[in-house]
Chains A and B, each alone.
Chain A
Amino acid sequence: MPQADTPAMSNATLKELSAQLAAKACSSVELAQDFINKINILNKDLGCYVTVDAARTLAQAQAADARRAAGNAGTLTGVPLAHKDIFCAKGWLTTCGSKMLANFVAPYDAHVVERCDAAGMVTLGKTNMDEFAMGSSNETSFFGAVRNPWNRERVPGGSSGGSAAAVAARLAPAATGTDTGGSIRQPAALTGICGLKPTYGLVSRYGMIAFASSLDQAGPMARTAEDLGLLLNVMAGHDARDSTSLERLAEDYNRDLAKPLKGLRVGLPKEFFAAGLSADVQKAIEAAIAEYKKLGATVVDISLPNMGLSVAVYYVLAPAEASSNLSRFDGVRYGHRAAEYTDLLDMYKRSRGEGFGAEVKRRILIGTYVLSHGYYDAYYIRAQKLRRLIAQDFVDAFRHCDVIMGPTSPTTAFKIGEKSSDPVQMYLSDIYTIAVNLAGLPGISIPCGFDGDGLPVGLQIIGNYFDEARMLNVAHQYQLATDWHQRAPAVSQG
């Protein structure tokens, strides 16, 4: 019997695990136990998971085996995955990487968790993340930084850094993530895995702790494009409890995987290849574009003239929405309450002052300021107007191309501590991903090479609204022709 702590099993994709379970080559309980064993060995060092609960995981695996024995198994029944700790999961600690919620046991399930559970998937644990998803390095977590499995001195990216590192280190075959300004794609790029941020509204935000509601979107993280599609098939779907959840017919996001790419028009925005892009990243992206040409794609030069403003616009809108969303943490109904206080106002202030970390406080202050009397028009309304210009750039660009390609991140994984003292440097690491959130478009990152230090590079593929099936087709065809997505960090093969 192959075991998860041997390369054969823990390197398996969702698709392969699904086939193994169907063929009764292993049981879900055996599979879960093997991953738990591997997590026990590696997690202390890497910090990918903040909560594991073997008894709960194995009970879910047992139920999945029973369901399979009864002949009711779906494609992913019995297949394990990890959930970012931003998703409420009933009975599980759900901390959002914050001291504020360090003892919060979710009383209900997020829609995403509900759907994964209903598919029979087995939760391996909750993954580490930047506090309230605010960060690009996973260093703002109350529970400590996550180490990049490719190099322990480097960050895994963020905010879904725990999910990305867990998938890269083969401590989970797939994981859920959320992406407000790049938080699925950037960590996927920095850890050499695949991540998909769907069109805004495809996946319900119910039970997903809110950061910036007009931008937040959940999506899958895995090691192949095909696995992203399998997991997105489970995660996406209408939910009346999220007022922005779209009512659309269910679709199979993997339906077009096999289509040849001949005639595909790939747009290359000149703004993605300007100053600030590292030479190694540029080289890997250009090699990927050359591969696409070999696969029959044609390249179109395009421009997104307002993209340069996206970081500024984002750091008005996202903090504004965050300052409103995070006002719910008042120390009354749930979350941290200060031990000492003089009156109600003092209780609020101390509870929030103690419960939130520095980056979260910084963003709440920015948001409060830009929404305050006298500044609302100059900052908030102006940013919303610029958001329309940025979104319109994409509408214009998609008249000339089918997908847009470029780097996911301007650099490979940076060193732990390298950017943590300068918020602006940190914010600029999302320069290629933020505009996609502002427009509400779907984006994928897939591995496409390595830099001189052996750190992975991510290729970003941006699609038009609801074009996930085509984007997965584009990513899958590349993965049939290349093997970057199969490279594994040494620590995962120990």
Chain B
Amino acid sequence: MALTLDDVRRAAHLARIAIDDAEAEAALAQLTRVFGLIEDMQAVDVSGIEPMAHAQDLMLRLRNDLVTEGDQRNLFQSVAPEVDAGLYLVPKVIE
């Protein structure tokens, strides 16, 4: 199955990455090489095999529903690009 420029642009849109025409062309050439490698996977019969999501087949732990961290808003917002009065600022979404 051959990857197309539209596939690259669609993935870039889904990934929220701006990509111009030259970048899309370059990405297509390189991703085509990478998917050539990945296609090796299709040669193997995997019927009846359970997917392995993780290195250890462990259940995730549950913890008590308790507050464990105090308020660190000022500290965490100190590294934000734009804040005002404790709020993160973004372009207007709702007209």
A residues bordering B, Cβ < 8 Å? 103-105, 107, 200-201, 214-215, 240, 243-244, 246, 306, 308-309, 311-313, 315-316, 323, 327, 330-337, 341-350, 352-354, 356, 361-362, 364-370, 372, 378-379, 381-389, 391, 422-424, 427, 437-440
Q: Is B31 within 8 A of A362, CB to CB?
A: yes
Q: Is A388 within 8 A of B51, CB to CB?
A: yes
User: Which residue of chain B is the closest to A425 with respect to CB atoms?
Assistant: B33
Please give the distance in Å from A332's CB to the nearest CB on chain B: 5
Using known A-B contacts A332-B90, A333-B80, A368-B14, determine if residue A311 contacts B46 with beta carbons closer than 8 Å: no
Q: Is A107 within 8 A of B18, CB to CB?
A: no
Using known A-B contacts A214-B53, A365-B31, A388-B51, determine if residue A313 contacts B41 with beta carbons closer than 8 Å: yes
6 contacts between A and B (CB under 8 A): A243-B60, A356-B17, A381-B51, A387-B51, A423-B30, A423-B34
Q: Is A384 within 8 A of B80, CB to CB?
A: no
Q: In the complex, which of the residues B7, B37, B52 contacts A315, with contact meaning CB atoms closer than 8 Å?
A: B37
- Whole-angstrom distance between the alpha carbons of A336 and B11 in the complex? 21
Residues of B within 8 A of A387 (CB): 51-52
- Whole-angstrom distance between the alpha carbons of A387 and B80 in the complex? 38
Q: Is A244 within 8 A of B56, CB to CB?
A: yes
- Whole-angstrom distance between the alpha carbons of A349 and B22 in the complex? 16
Q: In the complex, which of the residues B11, B42, B56, B75 contacts A369, with contact meaning CB atoms closer than 8 Å?
A: B11
Q: Is B76 within 8 A of A201, CB to CB?
A: no
Task: Give 5 closest A-B pairs by Cβ, nearest first.
Answer: A440-B55, A353-B18, A384-B51, A200-B55, A337-B81
Q: In the complex, which of the residues A240, A335, A342, A385 contacts B51, with contact meaning CB atoms closer than 8 Å?
A: A385
Please give the distance in Å from A160's CB to the nearest CB on chain B: 19
Q: Is A334 within 8 A of B79, CB to CB?
A: yes
Q: Mark B14-31, 1 if CB is under 8 A from A, else 0.
A: 111111000000010011
Residues of B within 8 A of A334 (CB): 79-81
Please give the distance in Å from B79's CB to the nearest CB on chain A: 5
Q: Is A352 within 8 A of B7, CB to CB?
A: no
Residues of B within 8 A of A379 (CB): 38, 41
Q: Is A386 within 8 A of B15, CB to CB?
A: no
Interface residues of B in 24-67 (CB under 8 A from A): 27, 30-31, 33-42, 44, 46, 49-56, 58, 60-61, 63
User: Which residue of chain B is the closest to A333 with respect to CB atoms?
Assistant: B80
Q: Is B46 within 8 A of A386, CB to CB?
A: yes
Please give the distance in Å from B45's CB to the nearest CB on chain A: 10
User: Given known contacts A201-B55, A331-B81, A368-B14, what 13 new A-B pairs fall within 8 Å (CB)?
Assistant: A105-B79, A201-B58, A243-B61, A330-B16, A336-B81, A350-B18, A353-B19, A365-B11, A368-B12, A369-B31, A424-B36, A424-B37, A439-B55
- Whole-angstrom distance between the alpha carbons of A103 and B80 in the complex? 10
- Does residue B70 face the partner (Cβ distance < 8 Å to A)? no
Residues of A within 8 A of B14 (CB): 368, 372
Q: Is B11 within 8 A of A389, CB to CB?
A: no
Using known A-B contacts A341-B91, A365-B15, A366-B34, determine if residue A332 contacts B81 with beta carbons closer than 8 Å: yes
- Whole-angstrom distance between the alpha carbons of A110 and B42 in the complex? 39
Using known A-B contacts A366-B34, A368-B11, determine if residue A333 contacts B76 with beta carbons closer than 8 Å: yes
Instruction: Tell me if A's interface is mostly helix, strand, loop or mixed.
Output: helix
- Whole-angstrom distance between the alpha carbons of A312 and B60 in the complex? 28
- Does residue B82 face the partner (Cβ distance < 8 Å to A)? yes
Q: Is B88 within 8 A of A364, CB to CB?
A: no
Q: Is B60 within 8 A of A424, CB to CB?
A: no
Q: Is B51 within 8 A of A365, CB to CB?
A: no
Using known A-B contacts A382-B46, A424-B36, determine if residue A332 contacts B80 with beta carbons closer than 8 Å: yes
Q: Is A385 within 8 A of B79, CB to CB?
A: no
Q: Is A368 within 8 A of B15, CB to CB?
A: yes
- Whole-angstrom distance between the alpha carbons of A246 and B61 in the complex? 10
Using known A-B contacts A347-B90, A365-B11, determine if residue A388 contacts B41 with beta carbons closer than 8 Å: no
Residues of A within 8 A of B13 (CB): 349
Using known A-B contacts A343-B91, A365-B8, A379-B38, determine if residue A388 contacts B49 with beta carbons closer than 8 Å: yes
Residues of B within 8 A of A384 (CB): 51-53
Q: Is B79 within 8 A of A104, CB to CB?
A: yes
- Whole-angstrom distance between the alpha carbons of A306 and B40 in the complex? 11
Which of B10, B14, B60, B78 has the most chain A CB atoms inside 10 A of its CB?
A: B14
- Whole-angstrom distance between the alpha carbons of A168 and B31 in the complex? 35
Q: Is A385 within 8 A of B52, CB to CB?
A: yes
Q: In the complex, which of the residues A246, A344, A354, A438 contacts B90, with contact meaning CB atoms closer than 8 Å?
A: A344
Residues of B within 8 A of A343 (CB): 91-93
Q: In the complex, which of the residues B15, B49, B72, B92 contacts A107, with contact meaning CB atoms closer than 8 Å?
A: B72
Which of A312, A316, A352 has the most chain B CB atoms inside 10 A of its CB?
A: A312
Q: In the complex, which of the residues B52, B56, B58 contacts A388, with contact meaning CB atoms closer than 8 Å?
A: B52
Using known A-B contacts A107-B75, A383-B41, A387-B52, determine if residue A422 contacts B27 with beta carbons closer than 8 Å: no
- Whole-angstrom distance between the alpha carbons of A244 and B59 in the complex? 9
Q: In the complex, which of the residues A107, A345, A352 contacts B78, with contact meaning CB atoms closer than 8 Å?
A: A107
Residues of B within 8 A of A336 (CB): 81
Please give the distance in Å from B11's CB to the nearest CB on chain A: 4
Q: Is B34 within 8 A of A315, CB to CB?
A: yes
Q: Is B38 within 8 A of A201, CB to CB?
A: no
Using known A-B contacts A107-B78, A349-B16, A372-B11, determine if residue A315 contacts B38 with beta carbons closer than 8 Å: yes
